[in-house]
Amino acid sequence: MATVWEPDGWASLARVGLLTPHNDVVPEDEFSAMAPSGVAIHVARIPLGWRSGAAPPPIGLDAVRAFAAPPHVDEAVELVAAAPVSVIAYAFTSSSYLLGPEGDAALKSRLESRSRGIPIVIPCPAVVLALRALGVSRLAIVHPPWFPAQLDELGADYFQKTGCEVVYAAAAIGLPASQTSIEPAQVYEWVRTRVPQSADAVFIGGGGLRTIAAIREFPFSERPRKLFGCEVWRNLDWMLDHLK
């Protein structure tokens, strides 16, 4: 009789590399929550010049811009790519807003020059592909409470440049300012009571908000046609459809 071995966490299907700010723990938790058995998440942390904590200030645009600039993120890509990963996700939404679609394409190209042929997934281009695949034309955007109003405006502009009508874009003001204090139930209630029903989809941008449980909680009768967080769409290309 063959011996049945207990699972040991070995990634028999695939490994996903994840680039995240040094003080953000939500992306790796949520990627792990979504990953099926046999898929592992491997994280590299990158310095972000912004102080998180109990009462953080709004994230500064200089810190956002610096996160996407060499050398730290480039070096992190090279280190993660030394592991046998299938894809590398760049878990930082707000730099897309500053760079714009063309700047995102340049960032992807630059990072892939260091990734040994492993594809890099940038959040907002991945969302644009998802919106087009789902036939979404009217979008609502929700950001973490530490996003300043300028990032809300830049986010709306980003998606409008890709041909999407943005009917709503705002930070979730009123939620706790600390990432570790925000519960999925609060995200759920905030989106449910504030996002206009005229939206075809809601994009919860900014990797620091816990979205997976909130998305799963929405009853179908109260949802827009689609509701999703960022990062995932292009990262699933290598998976079988029934595992997505």
The pLDDT value recorded for residue 232 is 45
The pLDDT value recorded for residue 180 is 86
CATH 3.40.50.12500 maps onto the chain at 14-123+232-243
Which residues does 5 contact at the CB level (< 8 Å), separation at least 6?
none
- Residue 154 backbone phi and psi in degrees, to 5: -65, -35
Determine the average pLDDT of the residues in 79-100: 96
Coil/strand/helix, residue 144 = coil
Beta strands in 11-78 (DSSP E): 14-21, 39-46
What's the topology of domain 14-123+232-243? Rossmann fold (3.40.50)
**pLDDT of residue 237 exceeding 60:** no
pLDDT band at 126 (very low <50, low <70, confident <90, very high): very high
Report pLDDT digits (tens) over 177-219.
888 889 999 999 999 899 998 999 999 998 778 888 888 877 7
pLDDT band at 238 (very low <50, low <70, confident <90, very high): very low
The pLDDT value recorded for residue 171 is 95
Report pLDDT digits (tens) over 30-64.
999 888 889 999 999 999 987 766 667 889 999 99
Longest CA span, the chain: 65
Determine the average pLDDT of the residues in 215-232: 59
Q: Are 143 and 206 in contact (CB under 8 A)?
A: yes
pLDDT band at 235 (very low <50, low <70, confident <90, very high): very low
Report pLDDT digits (tens) over 152-167.
999 999 999 999 999 9
- Residue 109 backbone phi and psi in degrees, to 5: -65, -45
CATH 3.40.50.1860 maps onto the chain at 126-229
pLDDT band at 124 (very low <50, low <70, confident <90, very high): very high
Please, what CATH class does the domain formed by 126-229 belong to? Answer: alpha beta
**pLDDT of residue 134 exceeding 70:** yes
Look at the block and give the residue holding tokens 């630059």.
Answer: 110
